[in-house]
Amino acid sequence: MRRLSMLLVPALVSMALAAGPVLTSAYAAGSDEPSPPKSDSSSKKGKKKSSSVSDPKFLAAYRTAYTTIYDRHDYAGAIEQLKSLKRDDVADVVNLIGYSYRKLGDYQSSKVYYELALKDDPNHVRTWQYYGLWQLEQGNREQAQYHLNKIASLAGTGSSEYRSLADALDKPTGATLVY
């Protein structure tokens, strides 16, 4: 049964992605459409940004980086793409930079970007999830549990972010994580 579900889940996700914009987030992968920053989306510290999160050019570039990460697993390329957006005020953008650094094994840089994402949006559920996975990879189970509790308070225990981190926490210490 587990093997069948392992085959069905990717197929169902693929069908849902092909269905169009109805899907707003993918299991453990966030969304290919960023949320607006919690501060004014057109400025930061009084400066105008050249692209807002609703700008089609920005969205296309963000989606390209998203695909670079989740479809091609080219994390270094995605970091360059995401940094070129010059939107460190958008939690989704900096969270994906942190995720990419984590996947490359650069845990210090990953931590910096996760913390920046949480500074931009303290309620950014995907960052709490990914940073919780980071904590597990560092052997910090208590901190990962803290992150799990934070996700529960923000999105509930039925959310995909909660389930992903809870599943990882259920694995024994030292187990290889594939997230």
Total number of domains constituting the chain: 2
- DSSP-assigned letters across all residues of 31-80: -SSPPPPSS-TTEETTEEPS--TT-HHHHHHHHHHHHHHHTT--HHHHHH
When pLDDT is cut at 50, 70 and 90, the band that residue 15 belongs to is very low
Question: The domain containing residue 71 runs over which residues?
Answer: 50-121
**Top-confidence residue, 86 or 21:** 86
Question: For residues 137 and 124, is the Cβ–Cβ distance under 8 A?
Answer: no
**Does the pLDDT of residue 52 top 90, yes or no?**
no
**Top-confidence residue, 126 or 43:** 126
Residue 13 lies in a domain: no
pLDDT confidence of residue 27: 33
The whole-model pTM stands at 0.74
Question: For residues 34 and 92, is the Cβ–Cβ distance under 8 A?
Answer: yes
Average pLDDT over all residues of the chain: 80
Find the mean pLDDT for residues 87-91. Answer: 95
When pLDDT is cut at 50, 70 and 90, the band that residue 48 belongs to is very low
Residue 130 lies in a domain: yes
When pLDDT is cut at 50, 70 and 90, the band that residue 11 belongs to is very low
**Domain final position from 78, 93, 121:** 121
Per-residue pLDDT tens over the stretch 134-160: 999 999 999 999 999 999 999 999 999
Domain containing 88 — which CATH number? 1.25.40.10
Residue 31 lies in a domain: no
